[in-house]
Amino acid sequence: MYGAQLIEALRRRNPSLQFFGVGGERMRAAGCEIVVDAKDLAVVGITEIISHLPKILGLYRKLIRAADEKRPAIAVVIDSPAFNWRVARQMKKRGIPVVYYVAPQFWAWRQGRVRLLRKYIDKALVIFPFEEKFYRDRGVDATFVGHPLADLPAPAITREAYAAQHQIDAAKQWITLMPGSRVKEVRMNLPTIMESAAALGTDYEFLLPLAPVLDADILRTLTRTLALVGPLSIHFVPDALPALWHSRAAIVASGTATVEAAMMSTPFEMVYRVSPLTYFLGKPLVKVPYFAMVNLIAEEEVVPELVQHKFTAENVVRELNKIIPDGEPRTRMIERLAAVRARLQGSGSGAHPSETAAEIILKMIG
């Protein structure tokens, strides 16, 4: 999504530009030649990545070969630090300037890896306000451009039209379920999310958006396998934003989806689970007080965080029952989510972050 926005912003300024690299359907639609499909790199977790290393290394080499053939004027790497710092290193060796858009969250853990950015990155374009100082203090040329989701407009479709389109009962309250965008995440998070939905009961309609980088058939199969769908009303929908906008509340796995929920002003709780070994190895390395991006930006707990052993159906339902009904907890959360959105707006120039990023990149190209 971020790559597609950036490509469109660059093309508005220079229609002759050509793009190739790693991406999905949105980047392909924006005009990027997809050398490596993002679905094939959608792996999370320390132990999980190890089993996928041969495949990932093969795709990495394929991308480098394409760069050698095409000799790009500039390389823009987006997020995915384990993969992208290696790409950046190879580009730097070849004399190709490198921009890191959506810089890695080295402030959260493995802070020593900032040295990789100093060594291989010419410019870091960061999307969280506190990141600019963090990276500049450590010798990285960083600029806060704003979060690409910060000015998402409310979906135009009405609740009634959306209900008719997806056969959803408009008379009931809706809950959006977002278990993650990677198969491993879904396998870890979805069972407890479904158990929570079953405990909430048939008074609600449950909406399950299909992540663009996740095979829809896998998600449907997992849902059927859980054998909890019977008495529940589960609706698979193509886009998260309308689902969030029209939902009373949401259960959201940690990640970008939490920012999407915040931008839609939807009260939610953050959940997450990884393998016990990944959690055991990773937890001591975490350098921040919160897991949810919304809480990190606000510097306080805006949304509850149910991680690992705290992520139980009982806890999920208890927290949802605080924010579904009208009252002070729901009102306070909505107000704090609005404050988070304001912090993510960027420079205040009115330009979308991708437009600001495009201007910086074009200046670097000359």
User: Could you read off the pLDDT of 262-281 as tens digits, one per residue?
Assistant: 999 999 999 999 878 777 77
DSSP 3-state of 178:
strand
Predicted pLDDT at 48 = 58
What is the distance between the alpha carbons of residues 37 and 337, in angstroms, rounded to a whole number? 33
Burial class (CB in 10 A: 0-12, 13-18, 19+), 101: buried
Question: Could you write out the three-class secondary structure of 296-316?
Answer: HHHCCCCCCEEEHHHCCHHHH
Predicted pLDDT at 81 = 84
Kindly tell me if the per-residue pLDDT of 178 is higher than 90: yes
Segment 104-118 shows an average pLDDT of: 79
**Closest CA relative to residue 117, chosen from 133, 135, 96:** 135
Kindly tell me if the per-residue pLDDT of 72 is higher than 80: yes
Segment 125-149 shows an average pLDDT of: 91
